[in-house]
Amino acid sequence: MSSAETDVVGSAFDIEQGLQQLIARGYQFVHPTNGAGEVQAVVGVRVHDNVVDVVRLNAEDDVEATRLPGSEQNIFAPASTLWRSRGEASQVLGEVLALPERQPASTAVSTANGCWVPGRGGRSKWLAAR
């Protein structure tokens, strides 16, 4: 774990700093809304190597993160996951930042090029791998 990760995972966890580290790693954020246009969650997606990492923040005490195979079709209701965590932001973001960059080749299906993320008005947005 790097010193930057230690700062985030430590006892004085700063959620904003954790989110900034996710952005620095290439996470792209979307903000799904309901029919009235109210933001329902903040969702960070990172497509890299042979996996898709997803972090969904519903509230500070309701965060879910998953690592999915790059071939997964639906990132919000995946058929399979490689890793999952749910809990408070400090715990889950710290765990995400501690994940290894790559999934072992034995579980890899193929290199991920990107994924579709549901957007406003029933339209989807393609998030390309970085």
3-state secondary structure 24-60: HCCCEEECCECCCCCECCEEEEEEECCEEEEEEEEEC
Instruction: Please say whether the beta carbons of 117 and 128 come within 8 A.
Output: no
- The pTM for the full model equals 0.72
Dist CA 57 CA 31 (whole Å): 10
Model confidence over 69-113: pLDDT tens digits?
988 888 888 999 999 999 999 999 999 999 998 766 544 445 566
Q: How many degrees, rounded to 5, is the angle at CA 127 between CA 125 and CA 130? A: 165
The pair phi, psi for residue 90, each rounded to 5°, is -60, -40
Q: What's the DSSP call for residue 122?
A: G
Model confidence over 10-55: pLDDT tens digits?
445 789 999 999 999 999 998 888 889 899 999 999 998 889 999 9
7 sits in the region (left: phi over 0; alpha: psi -120 to 50; else beta) called alpha
E strand residue ranges, 1-130: 28-30, 42-48, 51-59, 62-69, 83-87, 114-118, 124-128
